[in-house]
């Protein structure tokens, strides 16, 4: 009989297996969104499609949406048609991870001819055809090629017809097909490592370890929920939307054996592609609750089970086919802040202030200039840049600068972005005074200045929010700075949508800061002096927001100029 200690060792091994699976994807992927930003997920599932372990590397939107996806694969493929050597694929927004730009691949795992489980992984691809990655489409049919759940490989044989079809429908076929093979390869690595583990521990199947993982995870989560006050609270927030503002409303109920998030009252479907399928909204609502209530319990089907999420059909967090959903992350990444607005009323001094929320992404579609002859070396290219504003201040510490919460996606290095195509990042630096003032300061956003190499013009797909609705502070903290975007010649630009940038012009972007926590008058003076010395706040902000006197400000700045410590 296997002991609990042995099962715990196996559980830890499974987490190591899927982390190696994720790292293999990072090393072999073609897209910078995977290699540099870590926009991916990897996990292992039991025979019934229940997630047993997820990789530490990856995003909660991908992981938690993928937790539901494997059951769809089993249903669509059919158990009688699942064979050793198969690899399955989809980018279905409603049965995958929310939009066409995410490829999810599932590989069955066999032992001695018997199905014992599945490996799954997801990655964001830079191009999937259609209008490109942006909010301009009016339906999902315009957003790119749709791959229903199907076999990429049948008993080891790749479907070459599918490959030819995909290659002929995307702008960068080598990159897409390379990413698909990387996804399949990382599942294969997970499968081999699982076989090694099962050999080592003498396992014929995963039923015992699955039962141990899921029962213990659910029980631990239920214990945390049972200790909470029984209460119901309302939360809401307003974000920019595309042409009109959007309201996210949530009613949060803590019961003895579950927590319910009900998004009744949320705005309806938007005409443009910022709508969010339920699977993605649920992923981030569950993530928000788990971070606040049971952060140290490993993420799997058992620990997620007590979190229930509902939303009326045809709201912007439960958009159904054929709604345009390319930028579903715009809305999905704000779901945690809406949930926390309600949870703060039940568990004060627990959740952070609002942050930048959605990633500050943009995609640049470069081409040879058309207003004059272009140099011989001018090329076409699609370059996607992942960037972050500041996160909200927390009850016990400042917000993180230029750090993506809730997605956890990493900011791309300038060198990697410029290597992907003829784009030039002229400036990328922290944005002083963008973090909301408070007892704990909000995290800083960033400045970016973007152009193209000589001989190129480009379209910029803006994917920003917080232009008109900056991150709110909490418990008396001030709001963070809003997003701004314009050309360097003063021409205004919109926060969302494809916009033409002529040859020789640059785009100036300032990404939002996080909200502050608690009154600014209560901030430790030593922290104010530190922020001033580091350039996080200006002398004007130190005086205006925190009441620092002119003599102290002058003394701090003098010590900085002299290269001396301010403490």
Report the C-alpha gap between 250 and 564 in whole angstroms: 50
Domain boundary among 218, 233, 251: 218
Tell me if 342 is assigned to some domain: no
> Do 566 and 477 have their domain in common?
no
**pLDDT higher than 90, residue 567:** no
Beta-strand ranges (E) seen in 141-194 are: 150-154, 157-158
> Do 416 and 560 have their domain in common?
no
CA separation (Å) from 184 to 42, 46, 120, 170, 484?
Answer: 11, 18, 9, 20, 40
Tokens 């209008």 belong to residue: 131
> Do 13 and 116 have their domain in common?
yes
Report the C-alpha gap between 117 and 163 in whole angstroms: 26
Q: Is the pTM of this model over 0.75?
A: yes
Tell me if 278 is assigned to some domain: no
> Do 501 and 560 have their domain in common?
no
**pLDDT higher than 60, residue 437:** yes
**Domain span at 542:** 524-567
Phi and psi at residue 407, to the nearest 5°: -70, -35
Mean pLDDT computed over 379-402 = 96
> Do 511 and 404 have their domain in common?
yes
Tally of domains within the chain: 3
Q: What is the pLDDT of residues 302-354, one digit of tens each?
A: 999 999 999 999 999 999 999 999 999 999 999 999 999 999 999 999 999 99
**pLDDT higher than 80, residue 275:** yes
Q: What is the mean pLDDT of the chain?
A: 96
Q: What confidence tier does 1 reach under pLDDT thresholds 50, 70, 90?
A: low
Q: What are 242-247's contacts with CB under 8 Å, separation 24+?
A: 242/135, 242/270, 242/271, 242/272, 242/274, 242/496, 242/497, 243/271, 243/272, 244/270, 245/468, 245/469, 246/270, 246/274, 246/316, 246/331
Tell me if 245 is assigned to some domain: no
Domain boundary among 203, 218, 233: 218
**pLDDT higher than 90, residue 412:** no
């Amino acid at each position: 009989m296997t002991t609990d200690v042995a099962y715990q060792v196996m559980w830890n091994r499974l987490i190591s297996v899927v982390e190696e699976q994720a790292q293999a994807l990072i090393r072999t992927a073609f897209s910078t969104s995977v290699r540099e930003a870590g926009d991916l997920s990897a996990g292992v599932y039991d025979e019934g499609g229940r997630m047993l372990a997820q990789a530490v590397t990856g995003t909660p939107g991908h992981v938690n949406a993928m937790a539901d996806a494997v059951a769809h694969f089993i249903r669509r493929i059919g158990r009688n048609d699942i064979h050793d050597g198969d690899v399955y694929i989809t980018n279905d927004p409603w049965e995958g991870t929310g939009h066409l730009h995410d490829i999810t691949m599932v590989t069955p795992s066999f032992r001695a001819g018997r199905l014992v489980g599945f490996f799954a992984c997801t990655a964001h691809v830079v191009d999937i055809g259609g209008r490109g990655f942006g909010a301009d489409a009016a339906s999902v049919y315009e957003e790119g090629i749709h791959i229903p759940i199907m076999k990429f490989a049948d008993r080891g044989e790749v479907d070459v017809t599918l490959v030819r079809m995909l290659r002929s429908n995307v702008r960068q076929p080598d990159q897409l097909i390379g990413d698909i093979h990387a996804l399949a390869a990382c599942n294969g690595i997970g499968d081999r490592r699982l076989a090694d583990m099962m050999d080592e521990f003498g396992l014929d199947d995963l039923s015992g370890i699955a039962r141990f993982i899921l029962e213990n995870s659910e029980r631990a989560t239920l214990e945390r929920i049972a200790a909470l006050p029984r209460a119901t609270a309302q939360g809401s927030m307003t974000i920019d939307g595309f042409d009109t503002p959007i309201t996210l409303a949530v009613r949060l109920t803590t019961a003895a054996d579950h927590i319910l998030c009900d998004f009744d009252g949320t705005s309806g479907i938007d005409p443009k592609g910022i709508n969010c399928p339920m699977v993605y909204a649920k992923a981030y609502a569950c993530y928000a609750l788990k971070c606040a209530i049971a952060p140290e319990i490993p993420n799997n089907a058992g620990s997620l089970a007590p979190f229930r999420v509902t939303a009326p059909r045809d709201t912007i967090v439960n958009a159904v086919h054929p709604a345009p959903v390319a930028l579903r992350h715009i809305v999905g990444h704000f779901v945690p802040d809406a949930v926390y607005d309600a949870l703060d009323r039940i568990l004060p001094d627990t959740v952070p202030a609002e942050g930048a929320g959605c990633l500050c992404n943009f995609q640049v579609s470069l081409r040879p200039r058309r207003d004059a002859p272009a140099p011989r070396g001018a090329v076409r290219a699609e370059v996607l840049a992942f960037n972050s504003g500041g996160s909200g201040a927390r009850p016990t510490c400042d917000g993180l600068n230029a750090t993506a919460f809730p997605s956890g996606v990493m900011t791309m290095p300038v060198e990697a972005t410029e290597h992907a195509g003829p784009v030039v990042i002229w400036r990328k630096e922290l944005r002083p005074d963008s973090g909301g003032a408070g007892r704990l300061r909000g995290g800083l956003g960033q400045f970016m200045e973007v152009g193209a190499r000589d001989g190129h013009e480009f379209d910029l797909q803006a994917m920003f929010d917080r232009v008109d609705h900056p991150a709110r502070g909490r418990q008396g903290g001030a709001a963070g700075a809003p997003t701004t975007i314009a050309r360097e010649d003063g021409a205004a630009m919109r926060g969302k949508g494809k916009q033409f940038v002529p040859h020789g012009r640059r785009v100036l972007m300032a990404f939002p800061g996080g909200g502050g926590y608690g009154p600014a008058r209560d901030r430790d003076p030593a922290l104010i002096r530190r922020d001033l010395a580091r350039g996080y706040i200006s002398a004007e902000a130190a005086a205006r927001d925190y009441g620092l006197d002119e003599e102290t400000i002058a003394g701090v700045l003098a010590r900085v100029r002299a290269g001396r410590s301010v403490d």
